[in-house]
Chain A
Amino acid sequence: MINLKVNGKAVEVDVDPSTPILWVVRDSLGLTGTKFGCGAAQCGACMVHLDGEGIRSCISPVSRAIGKEIVTIEGLDPKLSQPLEQAWIQEDVPQCGYCQSGQIMAAAILIRDKADPTDSDIDDAMTGNICRCGTYQRIRTAIHVAAKLKK
């Protein structure tokens, strides 16, 4: 048994310690907001926060999370999720929507750390997240909007 803290709650899971965090949150805990896109840290759909750091949960073994806190899209701090959601709705960002959990988790770290992210900051923070529908232009605008809303 492995003891974890996920979205503020203590949980116990019966998995091999090498199991990626992605499959623990999705299959063991039923938190399906975090998505599987590539399994190779290439696309960012699986991004979660581990002690406040954005990580690719598809390649991070759950053993890495012992003694730390995992935050998924379902448990994102409202101080970050509210401005981001409002901005995403205002800009009508998602198309298929599959990558958007990961996009928001990446954007959350950016607006948490930078009050006024520049386009170049956005490129740096968001280039790890693929959107096959091509919503990048709207994500960029929405991040600028969210950063203002957060203030």
Chain B
Amino acid sequence: MNDNNSLSRRKFIQAGAAVGGGLLLSFYFPAFGKGIKNAGIPAPVNFAPNAFIRIGTDDIITVIVNHSEMGQGAYTSLPMLVADEMDADWSKIRFESAPVDPVYNHLGFGMQATGGSTSTYTEWERFRKAGATGKYMLIAAAAQTWNVDPSSCVAEKGFVIHKSSNRKLSFGQLVEKAATIAAPQDVKLKDPKDFKIIGTPVKRLDTPEKINGTGVFGLDINVPGLLTAVIARPPVFGGKIKSFNAGKAKSIKGVKEVIETSRGIAVVATGFWPAKLGRDALEIVWDDGELGSLDSKSQTSQYAALAGQPGAIAKNEGDTKAVKGKANINLEAVYDMPYLAHAPMEPLNCVADVKADSCEIWVGTQFQTLDLMAASRITGLKPEQIKLHTTLLGGGFGRRAVLDSHFVSEAVEVSKAVQAPVKVVWTREDDIRGGYYRPRAYHKLSAGLDAAGKPLYWQQNIVCQSFAVGTPLEGMMVQNGVDSTAVEGASNIPYHIPNLHVAWNMAPGGVPTLWWRSVGSSHTAFAVEGFVDELARAAGKDPYQYRRMLLEKHPRYLRVLDTVAEKAGWKNALAPGRGKGIAIHESFGSVVAHVAEVSITKNKTLKVHKVVCAIDCGQIVNPDTIKAQMEGCVVFGLTAALYGEITFEKGRVKQGNFHNYKMVRMNEMPVVEVHLLDSQETMGGVGEPGVPPVAPAVMNALFTLTGKRVRNLPLRPDDLKKKI
């Protein structure tokens, strides 16, 4: 496992001078500034010019990465930024996960966190500056050694070279002297034309450990004396324990203790299997509470009623009411999308070891700071007494970024109670039924077209829960009574619509909801891109050309749209029985368009043959990573479109495992072809923006085969029958 917390046991040379300014160059100290215990011992092993880099005498450069690796490639793309500015030898680059320390805070979020497709673009300057600073100090060290002017030296592939005298020293050879050099106040960054690593398809650094069984995910942590706990949580959200009998559970061999916690009853055992058998043997009487009668069908009526209310205004331009009577054609539609579980392949888990004066946590998390603070509250320990190790994450998609730290708190609570290290493991059913879903979203839309077929007005009323209201995020995410994550992708619709009204009605809470890969855009894009397609058909126009016409003032969108249309051969006729659909959406600072090609199989299922994708994400760091993310986004979006739904009956989630919360599999994988635009636009993200246009592109394609519009997800068998 790559982990930085062992640093305190090693000896370091620290760089000589403190540095001010915006760049974070507090020299590497173990977490929370405990200081250097062995400062007096002169045993140089490494040179750490700043918190993000450690250079060894063996030439190995370790980049300490403060963003969690959950598949998006942070452990490769961020080291690329450092290595390029250092002119390092890429084969000498290693990565480590950062410990928790304010020095590693996300520059936008003000805490250590990974999310919002932000890892690369928020670190674009900081990591490059860290690398450039290291290079400056290594060059200065070489210049001192040779007694020459630093400006006569250059760095190249891990060496500092003095060309006129044909001398060179490797970075490793310069480590000792570099540690005595004062760090510069500011450093000059490269002109992008001089990038050697950035922009190239460098292979991921984390692949070898992920294919031979050695990579360590949270679930793989083992420490001496470790116990495993499986927890019985209320079957209805908000439910409480009335009474329980642990007799049968305790009689199972290997079960050590049964403990009531704030989130359920934990069965603690010597391993997962006895813990699970014990959990299943608990006899619990639950008080279901208010949500005991929650039912997805009646929720539909509730949401429909709410959609008839005016709601909080997210966007209002022109006067939709005044022009309604003037339209040539009026359209109305309702788009309804269900709750969705993230279902990362690695079920949630956390290891905690709470002692009288310390707490150690190992977890695959996206929210290190909040998790550590939660452990502090539960244990009564000071933050500096708590160490949190970030493991590899077996998928995140937002599920491991929770504001209440519940999956960490559980382990801390149980460990504290049993006074032993404990791993809390969620089963797949615990995960699927455990909440924190993408909110159900109900969109009521109406629009009118003028004589030329252009939209005269567009009215959209969105109903969904908020996971921001009532949390510390409310101040940031909720403005004028509108949760921005509920309306993003609709309130900023790019199409030219003179009279636009977008409103939001908050649905009642209770079911825990959360950001799910692409957040609000995961539902707004389906409604907007489906309804725009409806407008195009009503106007008798080609859906690509119709979008073009309404995007005249958005050159960035046009380039992406034209690229995808050209690459997909939009103009060309398809084989009989095939249909194609197009969709475009901007999210997380990037614009993505897909063209999907589909058919209906003999078995009456939808087959997606191919998805052609175009993305403009601004500066490209690793083109292959971007392609991989787009491929993954297509699968994620398609899975939701074809299968994804969490539904309730008598307050209970009906789905439980992959047989009824189905995933797209190998045999359903379309060919995905990704085109990256060479772009001068502001840098955006790539982990999420490929998801939103998938479902609308696919369903718009299906429409061409059936003549029927799919407005509710996931797809139903009836949706594949032709309109009669």
Chain A residues in the interface with B (C-beta under 8 A): 15-16, 19-20, 23, 26-28, 30-40, 42-43, 45, 72-74, 81, 84-85, 88-89, 92-101, 104, 122-124, 126-140
Contacts and interface: CB of A to CB of B under 8 A. Distances in A.
Contacts of B633: 134
Given A37-B345, A126-B665, 8 more contacts: A35-B219, A92-B204, A94-B71, A96-B70, A133-B345, A134-B633, A134-B669, A140-B666
A95 B273 contact: no
19 contacts: A27-B270, A33-B213, A39-B427, A39-B657, A42-B658, A92-B203, A92-B628, A93-B207, A94-B210, A95-B72, A98-B217, A98-B394, A98-B395, A124-B667, A130-B665, A131-B345, A132-B663, A134-B632, A135-B628
Interface in B281-303: none
Interface of B: 69-73, 201, 203-204, 206-217, 219-220, 222, 228, 253, 270-273, 343-347, 392-397, 425, 427-428, 624, 628, 631-636, 657-659, 663-667, 669, 671-672
Contact of B222 (A30, A34, A74, A100): A30
Given A94-B206, A95-B72, A133 B271 contact: no
A19 to B, nearest CB: 5
A38 B658 contact: yes
Nearest to A103: B211
Given A98-B345, A126-B666, A88 B211 contact: yes
B213 A95 contact: no
Nearest to A85: B211
Nearest to B226: A27
Output the residue of B393, B633, B635, B672 with the most chain A CB within 10 A: B635
A127 B663 CA distance: 11
Contacts of A88: 207, 211
Interface of B is mostly: loop
B380 to A, nearest CB: 31
A138 B207 CA distance: 13
A133 B213 contact: no
A96 B271 contact: no
Given A92-B204, A97-B394, A134-B634, A127 B666 contact: yes
A122 B666 contact: yes
Contacts of B217: 35, 98
Contacts of A30: 222
Nearest to A104: B211
A135 B213 contact: no
Contacts of A97: 71, 206-207, 209-211, 215, 392, 394
B346 A35 contact: yes
A132 B344 contact: yes
A92 B207 contact: yes
Contacts, number: 181
Contacts of B201: 92
A49 B666 CA distance: 21
A26 to B, nearest CB: 8
A43 B204 CA distance: 25
Contacts of B671: 137
A98 B632 CA distance: 14
The residue among B73, B209, B272, B397 with the most chain A CB atoms within 10 A of its own CB is B272
Given A23-B271, A33-B213, A96 B393 contact: yes
A16 B255 CA distance: 13
B213 A74 contact: yes
A19 B343 CA distance: 25
Nearest to B210: A97
Contact of B347 (A36, A94, A130): A36
Contacts of B271: 23, 27-28
A31 B69 CA distance: 22
